[in-house]
């Protein structure tokens, strides 16, 4: 039976290389699909070429709505030759006592296609085994690529795919042509019933139809540019940037930069051409957020501001995929379509203001939050109570009754804008429009601002709420959402997170840590869970037993992500601190401060040797399953025992005091200071003494050492660098 296989490259003297060009021609792709597909195409090519032993130079991709392309430079003309080494049976099985091959050896040799006399004996960690060594010179690259490239195309996946012919292949849009050239010659690969050739197609309008023969990437790029296609996305991005800047300068306006809109323009065009259009000034009476969102979401237009005042200007920038002689036709068409959209937005805005938010709150009982979680009216009631609890937890509500009333009022009105026409048309404006309508209803400015800020931050590095009520409302909303879904057993698994609970948890971490809110999140989680039960929301039996800890672990997972991504903290350092958090307060600010202090001390020269000593003590205790017993100083037989006992007793008090005062760096310095006493103990004392009483006393002393360290963190999780 074959046990293992290893390939060892052999030098063959072949160093020649050539260019590979692959183009997948398709019906127009959704712009959101293109960039991920190009990334997958590049990564897949690198992986597959490595698998088939074809070395290469730079691998790059390019694409437009009608094509996905791959270019591999300096691709080897021949596979790398290797010696294949296959491990077979052991020596004891392969040869009899007289050294003659057994049936096992003969069968193994026959299976590998080598004479039994050419089997080699080699030492392994498990003893001597026989190996079959076979030389594989490899195949020409052309033959390999004909097999590999259809696999590469077939492995591309999309959020949505379709079938369109008898081939039954699924792809984002129907394939219409293939170009596959290697070293200037056609690779006759097949995919989705299409055989590759050397002909591509230009822009639907500017290209004037007809196939375009190409020889290599340079001829391909130049020919397509003449046919109205800029194949390189970065080139299109540069062209669009230059056009937008020029039009802004001509119009005396400033662009509202938007990277997502720029990406959309890049991947919806082959030959981008920007145009400056206008809309009626009367629409400027509508809040700018509505106008900007309408332009972006419905039309993909860039908004602009007056260069002098910064106010929204009655103009827009559109990027067309065409360049007619008379751009006024495109401008007029875009202005006409946008005018209808803005008229709708103004109508919704005017109608929404006829009904106060307070009146809309009453109707939230008819809006489903989730089929297992009741209505938005129930969520509103929980938010009012939870935001009050949080205000008290951080010490803001005890004496500041105005602040507490603001938080409660904002929580009461927070979800009312879900019933407005504008939010129905533009869901991304929820909260923003609630704040706008609260201002119109003459609510206090603090209430309006808190409602506007309730969905911040929207990303790991997004803007945080600036007001205290906004912070607490955002925190309460996210805690309630996470607690609610965990309560009914809807928990993110793997990449599945349909309700964005990880994003909510990350926002909680950002708010608490960046604003240094000193509160026990564990108590807040428990209160959120009690509100759900009190509101009649039925949870799962498992959530009743494990729900609290799972929510805490979920928040710790996002704290790890934050520490790794934003603070550049080591995973073992974070793990050590979190594992020692036990049943104490869930204080994210304190936990992060501990992590930072520990990472700083790991750079000290005494730290790694200290950890080695600590782990030695920890392993002994774990092996003996030693429980806490009082240390008897009268049983000390060596000064090192007495010194360690004295130092640990003093350190325990110092560490406890420094941790209570948040001086984690000093607490760690105290622990590092125990190194000489620990080293002396292990040098001079034998723990496993024959005298049972002596041995017991020494184990108890090591238990004291262990507990002193673990009061700060689980140091056994720390990885000693270089080992």
CA distances from 316 to 294, 342, 525 (A): 11, 12, 46
Same domain, 522 and 610: no
**Inside any domain, residue 571:** no
List the one residue out of 523, 537, 424 whose CA is nearest residue 479: 523
**Inside any domain, residue 581:** no
> Model confidence at 9, in pLDDT bands (50, 70, 90)?
low
Report, as an integer, the average pLDDT of 63-72.
Answer: 98
> Structural domain tally of the chain?
5
Query: In whole angstroms, what separates CA 368 from the centre of its chain?
Result: 30
Same domain, 286 and 198: no
- The chain-wide mean pLDDT, for the chain, equals 91
pLDDT of 148: 96
**Among the listed ranges 574-583, 622-631, 678-687, 695-704, which one has the minimum average pLDDT value?**
622-631
pTM of the entire predicted model? 0.80
Same domain, 105 and 161: no
Same domain, 449 and 392: yes
List the one residue out of 350, 316, 321 whose CA is nearest residue 334: 316
**Inside any domain, residue 71:** yes
**Inside any domain, residue 350:** no
The answer to whether the Cα torsion of 612, 614, 620, 622 is positive or negative is negative
E-assigned strand segments in 96-153: 120-124, 127-136
4, pLDDT greater than 90: no
Among 173, 196, 226, give the residue marking a domain's end: 226
29, pLDDT greater than 60: yes
Same domain, 47 and 119: no
**Inside any domain, residue 171:** yes
Q: What is the CATH number of the domain that holds 614?
A: 1.10.730
Same domain, 560 and 425: yes
Same domain, 216 and 70: yes
- Rounded to whole angstroms, the Cα distance separating 614 from 275 reads 69
Same domain, 148 and 206: yes
pLDDT of 152: 97
Same domain, 73 and 87: no
CA distances from 494 to 39, 331, 565 (A): 21, 47, 19
pLDDT digits 0-9 by tens, 529-583: 999 999 999 999 888 888 999 999 999 999 999 999 999 999 999 999 999 887 7
The tokens of 204 are what?
Answer: 């639907």
**Among the listed ranges 7-21, 209-223, 656-670, which one has the minimum average pLDDT value?**
7-21
- Rounded to whole angstroms, the Cα distance separating 623 from 273 reads 73
Strand partners, 133: 85
**Inside any domain, residue 586:** no
Same domain, 390 and 492: yes
The tokens of 137 are what?
Answer: 């010179």
pLDDT of 398: 59
Q: What percentage of the chain has pLDDT greater than the value 70?
A: 96
Among 520, 550, 566, give the residue marking a domain's end: 566
Same domain, 440 and 525: yes
Q: For residues 328 and 604, which has the higher predicted lDDT (pLDDT)? A: 328
Question: Which helix (H) or strand (E) covers residue 19, if one does?
Answer: strand 17-26
* Boundaries of domain holding 284: 233-339
Among 136, 152, 176, give the residue marking a domain's end: 136
- Rounded to whole angstroms, the Cα distance separating 316 from 312 reads 10
pLDDT digits 0-9 by tens, 227-281: 999 999 999 999 999 999 999 999 999 999 999 999 999 999 999 999 999 999 9
The residue to which tokens 């109205």 are assigned: 228
318, pLDDT greater than 50: yes
The tokens of 373 are what?
Answer: 């979680």
Q: What is the CATH number of the domain that holds 475?
A: 1.10.3210
Percent of the chain as helix, strand, coil, to the nearest 5: 55, 15, 30
pLDDT digits 0-9 by tens, 403-440: 899 999 999 999 999 999 999 999 999 999 999 999 99
E-assigned strand segments in 593-647: none
pLDDT digits 0-9 by tens, 151-168: 999 999 999 999 998 888
Same domain, 280 and 425: no
pLDDT of 15: 45
The answer to whether the Cα torsion of 157, 163, 169, 174 is positive or negative is negative
**Inside any domain, residue 256:** yes
**Inside any domain, residue 352:** no
């Amino acid at each position: 039976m074959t046990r293992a296989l290893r390939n060892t490259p052999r030098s063959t003297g072949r160093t020649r290389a050539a260019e590979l060009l692959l183009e997948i021609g398709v019906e127009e792709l959704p712009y959101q699909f293109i960039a991920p597909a190009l990334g997958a195409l590049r990564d897949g090519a690198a992986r597959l070429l490595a698998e088939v032993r074809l070395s290469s130079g730079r691998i790059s991709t390019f694409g437009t709505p009608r094509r996905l392309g791959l270019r591999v430079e300096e691709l080897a003309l021949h596979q790398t030759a290797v010696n294949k080494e296959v491990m077979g049976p052991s020596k004891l099985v392969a040869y009899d006592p007289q050294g003659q091959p057994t049936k096992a050896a003969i069968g193994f040799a026959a299976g590998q296609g080598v004479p039994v006399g050419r089997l080699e004996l080699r030492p392994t960690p498990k003893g001597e085994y026989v190996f079959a060594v076979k030389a594989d010179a490899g195949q020409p690259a052309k033959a390999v690529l004909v097999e590999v490239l259809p696999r590469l195309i077939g492995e591309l996946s999309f959020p949505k795919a379709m079938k369109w012919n008898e081939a039954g292949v699924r792809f984002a849009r129907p394939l219409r042509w293939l170009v596959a050239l290697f070293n200037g010659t056609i690779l006759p690969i097949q995919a989705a019933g299409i055989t590759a050739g050397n002909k591509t197609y230009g822009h639907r309008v500017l290209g004037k139809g007809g196939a375009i023969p190409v020889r290599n990437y340079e001829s391909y790029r130049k020919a397509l540019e003449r046919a109205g296609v800029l194949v390189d996305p970065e080139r299109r991005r540069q062209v669009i940037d230059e056009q937008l800047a020029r039009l802004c300068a001509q119009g005396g306006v400033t662009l509202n930069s938007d990277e997502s809109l720029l990406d959309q323009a890049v991947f919806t065009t082959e030959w981008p051409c920007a145009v400056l259009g206008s809309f009626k000034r009367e629409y400027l009476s509508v809040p700018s957020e509505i106008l900007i969102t309408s332009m972006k979401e419905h039309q993909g237009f860039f908004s602009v501001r007056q260069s002098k005042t910064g106010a929204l200007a009655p103009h827009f920038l559109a990027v067309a995929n065409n360049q007619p002689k008379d751009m006024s036709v495109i401008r007029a068409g875009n202005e006409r379509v946008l005018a209808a959209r803005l008229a709708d937005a103004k109508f919704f805005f005017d109608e929404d203001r006829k009904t106060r938010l307070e009146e809309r709150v009453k109707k939230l009982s008819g809006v489903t939050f989730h089929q297992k979680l009741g209505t938005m009216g129930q969520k509103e009631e929980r938010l009012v109570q939870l935001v009050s609890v949080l205000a008290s937890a951080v010490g803001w509500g005890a004496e500041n009754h105005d602040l507490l009333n603001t938080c409660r009022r904002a929580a009461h009105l927070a979800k009312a804008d879900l019933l407005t026409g504008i939010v129905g048309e533009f869901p991304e404006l929820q909260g923003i429009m609630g704040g706008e309508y609260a201002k119109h209803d003459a609510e206090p400015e603090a209430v309006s601002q808190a409602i506007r800020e309730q969905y911040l931050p929207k990303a790991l590095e997004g803007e945080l709420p600036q007001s205290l009520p906004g912070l607490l409302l955002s925190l309460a909303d996210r805690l309630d959402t996470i607690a609610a879904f965990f309560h009914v057993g809807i928990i993110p698994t793997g990449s599945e997170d349909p309700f964005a609970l990880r994003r909510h948890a990350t926002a909680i971490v950002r708010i608490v840590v960046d604003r240094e809110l000193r509160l026990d999140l564990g108590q807040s989680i428990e209160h959120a869970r009690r509100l759900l039960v009190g509101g009649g929301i039925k949870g799962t039996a498992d959530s009743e037993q494990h729900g609290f800890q799972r929510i805490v672990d979920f928040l710790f997972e996002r704290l790890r992500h934050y520490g790794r991504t934003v603070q550049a903290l080591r995973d073992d350092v974070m793990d050590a601190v979190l594992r020692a958090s036990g049943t104490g307060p869930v204080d994210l600010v304190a936990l992060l401060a501990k992590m930072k202090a520990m990472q700083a001390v790991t750079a000290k020269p005494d730290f790694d040797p200290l950890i080695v000593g600590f782990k030695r003590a920890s392993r002994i205790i774990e092996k003996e399953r030693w429980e806490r017993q009082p240390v008897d100083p009268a049983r000390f037989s060596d000064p090192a025992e007495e010194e360690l006992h004295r130092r640990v007793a003093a350190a325990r008090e110092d560490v406890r005091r420094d941790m209570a005062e948040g001086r984690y760096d000093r607490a760690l310095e105290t622990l590092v200071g125990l190194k000489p006493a620990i080293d002396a103990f292990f040098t001079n004392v034998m723990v496993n003494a024959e005298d049972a009483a002596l041995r017991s006393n020494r184990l108890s002393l090591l238990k004291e050492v262990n507990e002193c360290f673990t009061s700060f963190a689980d140091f056994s999780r720390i990885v000693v660098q270089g080992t």
